[in-house]
A and B are shown apart, each in its own frame.
Chain A
Amino acid sequence: MMRAFRSELLKFRRWSVLAGSGVMILATAFIAYLTFHQITSGATGPELTPLIQAFPTPQGLITVVGQARSLIIVIALIMVTSNIAAEWSQGTLRNLLVREPRRLRLLSGKMLALLLGVSISATLTLAISAALILAAAHAQGISTAAWTSSEGMRTFLSSAMRCSVSSASVCWEC
């Protein structure tokens, strides 16, 4: 299984994998910034009310960044399924099966590597989006003390962890 895992890691160099992570980061950062902009520009509306309430609290940062949570999961799902589908349609799966005929070992090693990749991608996405929002808040002179307080950081980290794990587990379940 570890052989299949290490072999799969080498394939992360493909541009399609990098593109998937890139889309995840850009789309999440964009949505987070849009939410931030709506709140700070004083827009109102029924969907925005809970966000505006949470904004100044320690949960503020993760609430803004987490707006794209379902998008992250969807992109992660696409990355994993398209990877396995491509092995099949390109015909590269048979090369792998000749070198590792035990299907279960091959698949579990591959899934382990893919889930690790997806979790790293999701974590990176949340970190970059959070950094962007913090920078934007600084630029506009908005206090971020509640977000960067120890409680704020703890909330952020545990929510971020949950998000990457859930994106990985959704992929696993399908």
Chain B
Amino acid sequence: MTSSPDPSQTELAADNVPGRTPAIETHGLSKHFGQRKAVDGLTMSIPAGTIAGFVGPNGAGKTTTIRLLLGLVRPSAGSATILGQLLTHPERYLPCVGALIEAPTFYPSLSGRTNLEVLAHLGDYPRSRVSQVLELVELSDRAKDPVRTYSQGMKQRLGVAMALLPDPDLLILDEPANGLDPLGIIQMRDLLRRLREQGKTVFLSSHLLGELEQVTDWLVMLHQGKALFSGPARELLDRRSELVVEAEEATQLDLVARIAREAGYTVTPDNGSLRIACPLDFSSELNRRAREAGATHIVIRTKEASLEERFLALLKGEHE
């Protein structure tokens, strides 16, 4: 990871994703508040057309990063491009960006519809779009009521409608599942998948790791303002998956352990079984080689790590 904003590097990274420029790309992006480094040399790349999860503990700098990307605060150092446009010209990319920042805010005494119309006028979007997005988040029947009478979940849905108003190419959502009931979360997930099918990019921050695991195909893990990981979600999950090998005879386990070590993987004996940290597709090869070596009575189980475990493991690695 380098933090120098080098234009040739930008092109190189763009070439990695065939055909399309990344939706978001940052190089050493930093934001300092006095002595505190909220975002500290963040380098990441989000390919277009993906649902990218943005995870990290509270105070990791997720919201500050989002505020930087939306041009609400100026970076202390570093550079970024959004939809191929420089961060320093938010007026060029923001018309194609929809955003839901922290808890969505509205004018409480105005109706849901008027709240959206204020922003539709400001962004110069047609009024018919307001009805469309209200329909999409299923708020049409309450659109005339003042927002102060809305429940938390309804406000959250109105916030999503607000983000969808420009029919954005890039949707930036900060904790969109906040205050939603289980049904609302499922509807949100379906909505995000539909948007991805339309070729849009979704950048989604959340601390509900289980929720992210189900929808994201790209992950950025943030800790103390730095990216611990930025890449395909699959890769991260594979990297820490395990095979668990059980056998009745200890000699057979020893054989398996030797084969796995020779293949370059870490083996941990665990209560009469072995845990091998390797990609899951190693299991068939391991099985074949164990049979060839004479270990015929073994059971190989795959254990896929959850995002939560991966995240904690990464954090632990960082602290060590």
Contact = CB atoms under 8 A, between A and B. Distances in A.
Interface of A: 3-4, 6-7, 10-11, 13-16, 90-92, 94-102, 106
Contact of A95 (B109, B119, B121, B166): B119
Contacts of B123: 3, 99-100
Interface residues of B, number: 29
A99 B123 CA distance: 5
A7 B105 contact: no
Contacts of A15: 109
Given A94-B72, A101-B91, A101-B94, A14 B109 contact: yes
Contact of B105 (A92, A99, A101): A92
Nearest to A4: B122
B106 to A, nearest CB: 7
Contact of A97 (B72, B109, B117): B72
A4 B90 CA distance: 17
A104 to B, nearest CB: 11
B205 to A, nearest CB: 16
A121 B39 CA distance: 47
29 contacts: A3-B123, A4-B122, A6-B121, A7-B121, A7-B122, A10-B110, A10-B117, A10-B118, A11-B107, A14-B110, A90-B105, A91-B102, A92-B105, A95-B104, A95-B105, A95-B119, A95-B162, A96-B119, A97-B70, A97-B71, A97-B72, A98-B70, A98-B72, A98-B99, A99-B94, A99-B119, A99-B123, A99-B166, A100-B122
B159 to A, nearest CB: 9
Contacts of A102: 91
A138 B30 CA distance: 72
Interface string B89-125: 0110010010101111111111000100111011110
A11 B99 CA distance: 21
A174 B94 CA distance: 30
Contacts of B124: 3
Nearest to B101: A94
Contacts of B104: 95
A11 B121 CA distance: 11
Contacts, number: 68
Given A98-B72, A102-B91, 20 more contacts: A3-B123, A7-B118, A7-B119, A7-B121, A11-B118, A13-B110, A14-B107, A16-B109, A94-B70, A94-B101, A94-B105, A95-B104, A95-B119, A97-B71, A98-B97, A99-B94, A99-B119, A101-B71, A101-B90, A101-B94
Contacts of B109: 14-16
Q: Is the interface of A mostly helix, strand, loop or mixed?
A: helix
B277 to A, nearest CB: 43
A92 B123 CA distance: 15
A92 B110 CA distance: 12
Contact of A98 (B94, B107, B118): B94
Nearest to B125: A99
A16 B16 CA distance: 54
Which of B72, B107, B114, B117 counts the most A-chain CB atoms under 10 A from its CB?
Answer: B107
Contacts of B166: 99
Minimum-distance CB pairs A-B, first 7:
A91-B105, A7-B121, A101-B90, A7-B122, A99-B123, A99-B122, A6-B121
A106 B118 CA distance: 12
B162 A11 contact: no
Given A97-B72, A99-B94, A101-B71, A10 B121 contact: yes
B106 A92 contact: yes
Contact of B114 (A3, A10, A90, A99): A10
Contacts of A98: 70-72, 94, 97, 99, 101
A11 to B, nearest CB: 6
